[in-house]
Amino acid sequence: QANGWADRVVVVNMVLQEIRDEVPEQVDCIVHETLGTFLFAERGIETVLAARQRFLKPGGKLFPAAADFCLAPFEDGKLHSGRLVKAQNLWTCKSFHGVDYSSLYGQSKQEEFAKLLSDQFHP
C-alpha cells in the first residue's frame, strides 16, 4: 500500500500445499524462499517447481531464479573429536540399565560419520 501497488501485489504467506482459493489465477511473478540444506532438504526445489507449474503464467518470473552451490573440503579436529565422543557416549557402555551396548559401537561410529555435515562460516 505504501508504494501504491496494493491493486497489483498480493502476498500469500502460506505453505504451497495449502494454497487453494487464495491464488485464483496464474501470476506474473513468484517470490519465494528456497529452504533446505544444499537446496534439496525440506523439498525446497520440488516446492519451487510445483509453485511454478501451478501458479506462474507463461513467461512469468521466479525470484530468486538461481542459486550458487559451493563446496569446500575441510578438516576440523575438534569437530571430529566431538562427533567421535558422541558415538562413544552410549555405545561403549557395558551396563546401561543392565544392557551391554558396546558391541554396537562400531556401527554407531559408522553412522555418526555418515551423517551430512554442513555449516556456513565466513572465510
Closest CA to 85 of 112, 103, 47, 123: 112
* SS3 of the chain: helix, strand, coil, percent, to 5: 40, 10, 50
For the question of residue 112 being annotated catalytic, the response is no
What is the distance between the alpha carbons of residues 71 and 78, in angstroms, rounded to a whole number? 20
Given 18, 25, 33, 75, the catalytic residue = 33
Q: Which of 42, 46, 75, 111 is an active site residue?
A: 42
For residue 94, which of 85, 105, 86, 78 has the smallest C-alpha distance? 105
Q: Is 33 one of the annotated active-site residues of the chain?
A: yes
Q: Could you count the other beta carbons within 10 Å of the beta carbon of residue 102?
A: 15
Q: Which residues are catalytic?
A: 33, 42
